Amino acid sequence: MADVTHPPATGVSAGAAGWEESLTGLAERLFDGLLEAVPDAVVIVDRNGIIIQINRQAENLFGFRRDELIGGMVEVLMPERFRGSHVVQRDVYSADPQPRAMDRQRELIGLRKDGHEFPIDVLLSPLPTSAGILVASSIRDITPHRQLENELRERTRDLEEADLQKDHFLAAVAHELRSPLAVLTQVAHILRSPQAGEAGQNSALGALERQTSVMARLVEDLLDLSRVRRGKVSLREEKIDLRTVVLAAVEICHPLFVDRKHQLVVAQPPDPVWIVGDAVRLAQVVSNLLNNAAKYTPAGGHICLTVVGESPVAAIRVRDDGEGIPQALLSRVFDLFAQVGSPREQAGGLGIGLALVRRLVEMHGGTVEAFSEGPAKGSEFVVLLPLLSMEPD
């Protein structure tokens, strides 16, 4: 039988070592490939916080080249105000390295090379090696998530405000209807009473007319605002002299001024102020402003209505010496139901008149603005409309 010659032991050891080196190299290449393939930025550090490796996503996220980071401290990737506390947290993690998310109870901020800060989310994973445990940080820019959270918070606040306004509105409607309904109930008793006499019945009929007029105006304002908000109102535009619109509005509001003993001064230019618009809707704008002034001006107060035409705009100004507008409310006075729930609520109304004014003015291509130096100092409302010409064609 032929002798079997075995290879020397040294040859076997050399071959195993070669395979081991090959497998180690393969593992390193696979690890590097996997590191580059993951979608998040990855930064690997040792227990001292020295950066050992990063992937391409980390370069793109932080704006550093790989050779600028490797060998440096990981704290360079965060704002300076967080670096001291991070060193402590790094030591705490090294004492018990477990896969987990970095502390989400506090804000995590990354720092780009250009100094830009951005919110991040960080997942930590320990990597055991023969040289000790390394820590891989998977880092994600969560700016879009923060923006979405902020938008959701703002929408929630808006919904809460809308719900509060709805409650205030319903309460205001009930308040506004209670008074005329109470009067109508009294009127009904008077008209049924044989002792009322002709004078009593005439007085009751007058009260009936006034209160039904109040209710009709309330309902009409609500319907008008609803139509405007839904785009159901179309303007019947024509060339009109703004002075005639103002006179129509003054006639509408005259009974209110007489009732409250207000002194109304109307100042208009001698020549026509030509604009293109809907005369009925513009008269509604001016009458709402006059009603608003009368509502917040004590009996016997003064209201001034001025019209001027100075190219390129025509201006309508309504000024009173009444209660004025608090600065906190001045920027919101044209918002729907802005009066409701404020100290001004005692004057009555639903807070929709000025909201309707703004929408109708904007439909005419104009603007409206409120001015006041504060409580008890009066207020002024200014409507600007595109001026067509000071002379007719």
Tens of pLDDT, residue by residue over 167-208, are 777 777 777 778 788 888 888 888 888 888 888 888 888 888
- Tell me how far apart the alpha carbons of residues 172 and 344 are, in angstroms, rounded to a whole number: 12
Q: What ranges make up the beta strands (E) of 130-285?
A: 132-141, 238-241, 263-267, 274-277
pLDDT at 222 > cutoff 80: no
What is the pLDDT, as a whole number, of residue 198? 83
pLDDT at 77 > cutoff 60: yes
Cβ-contact 44, 52 below 8 angstroms = yes
Segment 223-249 shows an average pLDDT of 87
pLDDT band at 6 (very low <50, low <70, confident <90, very high): very low
pLDDT at 392 > cutoff 50: no
What is the pLDDT, as a whole number, of residue 168? 72
pLDDT band at 104 (very low <50, low <70, confident <90, very high): low
pLDDT band at 105 (very low <50, low <70, confident <90, very high): low
Bridge partners, 316 (sequence order): 307, 383
Segment 355-381 shows an average pLDDT of 93
45 by DSSP, 3-state: which? strand
Nearest to 288 by CA among 372, 226, 166, 381: 381
What is the pLDDT, as a whole number, of residue 111? 95
- Tell me how far apart the alpha carbons of residues 339 and 325 are, in angstroms, rounded to a whole number: 10
pLDDT at 236 > cutoff 70: yes
What is the pLDDT, as a whole number, of residue 342? 42
User: 342-366 burial, b if ≥16 CB within 10 A, otherwise e?
Assistant: bebbeeebbbbbbbbbbbbbebbeb
What is the pLDDT, as a whole number, of residue 238? 95
Structural tokens at position 238: 């024509």
Bridge partners, 277 (sequence order): 238
Minimum mean pLDDT among 29-33, 130-134, 319-323: which range? 29-33
What is the pLDDT, as a whole number, of residue 190? 86
Q: What is the maximum alpha-carbon separation in the chain? A: 150
pLDDT tens-digit profile of 41-57? 999 999 899 999 999 99
Structural tokens at position 288: 């709402």
What is the pLDDT, as a whole number, of residue 180? 80
Cβ-contact 107, 84 below 8 angstroms = no
Q: Which residue has the higher pLDDT, 301 or 158?
A: 301
pLDDT at 11 > cutoff 60: no
What is the pLDDT, as a whole number, of residue 5? 43
- Tell me how far apart the alpha carbons of residues 259 and 257 are, in angstroms, rounded to a whole number: 5
Question: Which 8-state DSSP code applies to residue 49?
Answer: -
Segment 319-344 shows an average pLDDT of 74
- Tell me how far apart the alpha carbons of residues 268 and 279 are, in angstroms, rounded to a whole number: 17
What is the pLDDT, as a whole number, of residue 307? 96
- DSSP H helical ranges for 56-130: 56-62, 66-69, 80-95
Segment 7-15 shows an average pLDDT of 45
pLDDT at 252 > cutoff 90: no
**CA–CA distances in Å: residue 257 to residues 84, 212, 293:** 71, 19, 10
- Tell me how far apart the alpha carbons of residues 267 and 276 are, in angstroms, rounded to a whole number: 21
Counting every residue written for the chain, the total comes to 393
Output the DSSP codes for 142-172.
-HHHHHHHHHHHHHHHHHHHHHHHHHHHHHH
Question: How much is the mean pLDDT over the chain?
Answer: 84
pLDDT band at 213 (very low <50, low <70, confident <90, very high): confident
366 by DSSP, 3-state: which? coil
Structural tokens at position 120: 């991040």
What is the pLDDT, as a whole number, of residue 337? 62
Neighbours of 139 (CB within 10 A): 22
Residue 54, H or E segment: strand 51-54
